[in-house]
Chain A
Amino acid sequence: MQTSRLQTAVLIGPGLGWLALLMVVPCGLVFVLSFFERGVYGGIDYVFNFGNFARAIDPLYLNIFFKSARIAGLAALIALLIAYPAAYAISRAPRRHQTPLLFLAILPFWSNYLIRTYAWIVLLNREGFLNQGFELLGYQGEPINMLYNDGAVVLGLVYNYVPFVILAIYSSITRLDPEIWEASQDLGATRFRTFYRVILPQTVPGIAAGLVFVFVLSIGNFITPDLLGGGRVQMVGNLIYDQFLTARDWPFGAALSFVLIGIMMVLLFLQAVLANRAQGGGRG
């Protein structure tokens, strides 16, 4: 059936309006803000300048961008390594088991993000369950500091985002024609070779989607670094948060936000290119 132009407009209108009103306009405002200066009491002095951007690329802040990217990248990679086998196993399980298994994967989302993150504090702190457990097992030394460092932040991010990656990869594996497994094995490929040469390349869009998803959510995250990093681990999300809520330097916060938005756009573009190429390859 051919949809008329009017129908298209009516269908797409609300979504587009939503995006324009709640995404493009605020982003535009933030962009404009980034060229002004903070007033003495936190207001905005309307003096046009590029100072905020110059400051945003100062090594001090650039380092935070790099550090955030490193933490987010590590989280994405570890999440992928955990999620891929899980998604693969779910997709190869008997069909009637798949829904319950997926359900289990997303079960953590039934509780609040903060509570799940706080739970890690209870587990990891110097007097926490893990240290108490070590003591019961005969560990005699000083309690181990597992909290308030980069590792704890990566752990918190991985834990919270793994389910998304499982879903992304699961959907990309189940989209494959089941006969390609047979075909590959009929042609003499080992199981490993089948996976490595046939399945893996065709799930690249799912992998890319999962990776970008975790990366983008992680690099802007400020709750996990705040709680599990104890304020000592600053990521760019915390930096932006602080500019708006404690430093009251909205223009600088706006400039930092835009640098971050720029990075995310590049990544999403790359992911789209990758997904497109994979699809094109499938057709050819």
Chain B
Amino acid sequence: MRHLKKLAAMTAVALTFGLSGTAGAADSIVVSNWDGYMPGDMMEQFKAATGVDGEVSLHATNEEIMGKLTAGGGAGYDVVFVSSPYVEALRNLDLLAPIDAEKVPNLKNLYPEAQDLAYDPGNQYSVPYAWGTTGLCYRADLVSDEVDSWNDLLAPSDDLAGKITMLSTERWLMAAGLLAKGYSVNDTDPAHIEEVRDLLIDAKGNLLAYDDTTFYSKLVSGEAVLVHAWDGWCNYGIAENGDIKFVVPNEGSDLWVDTMVVMKSSENKDAAYAFINFVLDPANHAWVAENILYKVPNQAAMDQVGGALAESYPNMGMTPAQLMDMELMRDLGNAQKDYTRASTEIMAAQ
């Protein structure tokens, strides 16, 4: 998911300072998504189906698109892909347009669970696009002991030390420590945050690197044997090497939901709803799942392709009920600052 294409982000520095294009034409929309997070021909198909031109803009991280949206009041974007905690943030900033359910009839295709997620019950301001969890992705042929705990990542045995990567995106970096300590992934207690920060600083010594983008290729090459990974991206490794496995640690993990939202500033909301409706079409959403190898919360789509995908990629077979056992990642409000600070300190520690 969070395609941390830092290179793209670099050039975006300038853009985040408030320069944003305007989409004026009646029948065109601007969609911002992570790079590689939807099929490449999506916009052509959308144009063929509806006659609406769609322009894709890419963001590398949730943080980056948040920067652009807050700086420009959302101007220049119609549909934006963001993760669930940021739906709440954008909602609090009053930047989102409500989803007009009448114009998105395909909402009915979503699993019942996906229609009642705590950050936005009833899909009033956001529509789930993909969902999943975070866990450990490893080379079963190169690790001697069973991998089943967050502590395998944070306090590894000698044969794993130096061959581990972790995510550095702050919510997931912190989640690994919080879960290992038995805390909530949304814990806001400053004492817990400090404790987790210290734990993660200690863990840094055993890492090969922090990696949010190419960890699966490090597993394939054997450079790393255990990586902290989002389920879908582990699948990219599994596709190349059958010895790569994904496991949700026994302490549990988070449920993340990547969503589509419509900006309040959009001048073409009908086309924006049409795009979301187009994505939710069972055949289209199934094509998304096959393409990005992440679970989609679309029952009709998963009924079509879920079984076949799960044969090659076991984590594609996780049911909504199993996902609901994970802890939904929420917006932290003011405590977000503490998380940011802690992760900055972890990255800065020697």
Contacts and interface: CB of A to CB of B under 8 A. Distances in A.
A43 B94 CA distance: 14
A42 B66 CA distance: 8
A112 to B, nearest CB: 10
Interface residues of A, number: 33
B207 A42 contact: no
Contacts of B336: 40-41
B190 to A, nearest CB: 16
Nearest to A60: B348
A230 B209 contact: yes
Interface in A69-115: 114
Contacts of A243: 344
A11 interface: no
B223 interface: yes
23 contacts: A41-B336, A42-B67, A60-B345, A125-B223, A126-B223, A127-B223, A231-B209, A232-B209, A234-B347, A239-B348, A244-B13, A244-B16, A244-B67, A245-B9, A245-B12, A245-B60, A245-B64, A246-B170, A247-B341, A247-B344, A248-B66, A248-B340, A249-B340
B162 interface: yes
Of all A-B residue pairs in the complex, the 8 with the closest CB atoms, nearest first, are: A230-B209, A231-B210, A247-B340, A126-B223, A127-B221, A246-B63, A148-B209, A41-B89
Interface of B: 6-7, 9-10, 12-13, 16, 60-61, 63-64, 66-67, 70, 89, 92-93, 162-163, 165, 168-170, 204, 207-211, 221-223, 333-334, 336-337, 340-341, 343-345, 347-350
Given A126-B223, A231-B347, A38 B64 contact: no
A127 B223 CA distance: 6
Given A230-B209, A245-B13, A42 B63 contact: yes
Interface string A224-245: 0010001110100011011111
Contacts of A241: 10
A42 B70 CA distance: 8
Nearest to A41: B89
Contacts of A67: 350
A61 interface: yes
Given A148-B209, A247-B63, A249-B340, A234 B348 contact: yes
A120 to B, nearest CB: 14
Given A40-B333, A60-B349, A226-B6, A242 B207 contact: no
Contacts of A249: 340, 344
B125 to A, nearest CB: 15
A267 interface: no
A60 B93 CA distance: 33
A145 interface: yes
Given A41-B92, A114-B7, A232-B204, A64 B348 contact: yes
B74 to A, nearest CB: 13
Nearest to B343: A247
Contact of A61 (B60, B343, B348): B348
Interface in A189-224: 223
Nearest to B14: A26
B48 to A, nearest CB: 36
Interface in A136-178: 145, 148
A63 interface: yes
A122 B209 CA distance: 15
Interface string A5-40: 000000000000000000000000000000000101
A67 B344 CA distance: 16
Contacts of A60: 345, 348-349
